[in-house]
Amino acid sequence: MLAIETSNLTKVYRKKHLTRTALTRGVEGLNLSVDKGEIFGLLGLNGSGKTTTIKLTLGLLRPTSGSVTVFGERAGSTQALRKIGYLPEVPYFYRYLTAKEILSLYARLSGLDNVAERVEHIIDMVGLSQKRDKQLAEFSKGMLQRIGIAQSLLHDPELLIYDEPVSGLDPLAMQEMRTLLLKLKSRGKTIFLSSHLISEVEKICDRVGILVKGNMVRTLEQSQWTSAEGSLESIFISEVADSAETDRMKL
């Protein structure tokens, strides 16, 4: 069974203004399959539809047409969500709760029984033991990212969906993230991540899908960018350039 499968997945955003409705394409006709146990990277420029794809997989957005399933379950169903750990693009947390309180809340919502024990373990794992009783309002960006990682791993999910997990991190934190992802993979987890950083994706992904303006223009296996065909960067640039002939800067 596939971890994630989409078929002709399309999302068109509609924004109602007073007199007219504005339509924006999020993604279009996406056919994607993520195997169990692999690290799959969605690679694309800003606005190419990475976050849209992820939100559709989580059920935060509903497809305009087409479908998406997670381990065979409808995206957004509680059965599907039980198996997912999600790290959003930006850490969206309740600032008035402490580290321990927010993780306990998420642990309870995930249906865990041994909440206190699990929370202590995970706080320790992300190295925030000293800060466990501080309100998140006092946390630095790096610490919030750690809370983000902690909440995604609390319930030991099979599938991790990370939206731009390394963008905006310092080199050390990037290295830590890379180590974490590879360790999770070695434990049999499936990882679905998005990024616009080619160098990062190149290092850790087994497969990469290139998104351009909401379309999946190409899917590549690791061997294809490590072998003769050229680096992932040159493949990516040529794909993007092909689809964007018209609106490039003239240098």
Partner 1 sequence: MKNILSIARYTLVENIRNKIFYVLVFFGIIIIAASLLLVALGGEQQIRVLLDFGLAAIEFFALVTVCFAAVNLALEEMQSKTIYLVLTRPVSRAHYLIGRYAGLLAAVYSGMFLMALLHAGLLVFNGFEFNLRYPLALLLSAEKITIIGSVALFFSLFSSSAISSISFTVFFWVLGHFSEEIRYLGNKVTYLVPKIVAKIAYYTIPNLQYFNLRDFWDVPGITGGWIPAAIIYGMLYSVACMTLSLWLFSNKEF
Ligand X SMILES: Nc1ncnc2c1ncn2[C@@H]1O[C@H](COP(=O)(O)OP(=O)(O)O)[C@@H](O)[C@H]1O
- Contact residues: Mg ion, CB under 5 A: 50-51
Q: Which of 174, 204, 199 is nearest to 189 (CA)?
A: 204
Tokens of 155: 């319930």
DSSP reduced 3-state for 92: coil
15 near ligand X, judged by CB under 6 A: yes
DSSP state of 98: B
Kindly tell me the sign of the dihedral angle through the C-alpha atoms of 148, 153, 154, 158: positive
Residue 24 binding result from ligand X, partner 1, Mg ion, none, given CB thresholds of 5 to 8 Å by partner type: ligand X
List strand residue ranges (DSSP E) for 1-144, in order: 4-16, 21-34, 39-44, 65-70, 73-74, 84-87
Query: Closer to partner 1 at the Cβ: 78 or 246?
Result: 78
Q: How far is the CB of 188 from ligand X (least distance, A)?
A: 28
Query: Closer to ligand X at the Cβ: 24 or 79?
Result: 24
What is the per-residue DSSP string for 17-28? -SS-EEEEEEEE
Q: How far is the CB of 26 from ligand X (least distance, A)?
A: 4
Query: Closer to partner 1 at the Cβ: 88 or 209?
Result: 88
Rg (CA), the chain: 19
10 near ligand X, judged by CB under 6 A: no
Chosen residue from 46, 130, 140, 227 binding ligand X by CB under 6 A: 46
Q: How far is the CB of 2 from ligand X (least distance, A)?
A: 22
86 near partner 1, judged by CB under 8 A: yes
Q: How far is the CB of 172 from ligand X (least distance, A)?
A: 25
